[in-house]
Amino acid sequence: MKVESVESLSTEDLWVSMIENWGEANKEYHHCEESPLEVCLLKSSKYMWRMFSAMKFIRGRLPANQTDGLVQFDAEDFSNPEYAAKKWMDYRQQGKSQIPKNIEDVQQFFDQFDCHSVAFGEQFSPACISKMNDKVNAYNLILAGLVTDESVLPGGGGRGKGKRRGWGRT
């Protein structure tokens, strides 16, 4: 089985990955509804990291005038959700049962989603999950708006005239 790097995936494949992993992250949230935030973030970190990684590459392929208001991935700290999810996934792989209780790191992560009242020991707020969903849907709306019968998505990918095109192109 040939394994491709995420950079070589088509925009369409990245989009599918984003949607699938957001769905899996949501399942994790629902399975940990009774758990505190620090446990829930750890449990969902693998799917969040995959989703944010796909979103980062998609964002880089969108026209600049289409990226206003989208989640940003520029920083090398917890304000970059991909970075945060990767750090939390690393804790999970180390066998930890929860993320470290550093509210500043967690708040930096949630600021990207306009979730401003998070606290350790409390459950993951359904309102915050809804705001995160809105940010993911912003990508869906832009990508869907770029698809026509005659075009492919930016950066390769998409389907045209019933044929699979763009596999592996960047």
pLDDT tens per residue, range 46-82: 999 999 999 999 999 999 999 999 999 999 999 999 9
Q: Supply the DSSP symbol for 74.
A: -
Paired tokens of 70:
């989208």
Q: What residues contact residue 160 under an 8 Å CB cut-off, 6+ apart?
A: 149, 150, 151, 152
pLDDT tens per residue, range 9-55: 899 999 999 999 999 999 998 888 788 989 999 999 999 999 999 99
How far is residue 57 from each of residues 23, 32, 66, measured CA to CA in Å? 19, 29, 14
| Nearest residue to 15 via CA among 161, 127, 166, 162 | 166
User: Does residue 159 have a pLDDT over 80?
Assistant: no
pTM (predicted TM-score): 0.83
3 state DSSP class of 164: strand
Helices and strands (H, E) in the chain, number of each type: 5, 2
User: Does residue 110 have a pLDDT over 90?
Assistant: yes
In angstroms, the CA 79 to CA 112 distance is 7
In the chain, domain spans: 11-156
Higher pLDDT, 137 or 169: 137
**Residues paired with 159 in a beta bridge:** 164
Higher pLDDT, 147 or 107: 107
User: Does residue 156 have a pLDDT over 90?
Assistant: no
Residue that has been written with the tokens 């089985």 in this structure: 1
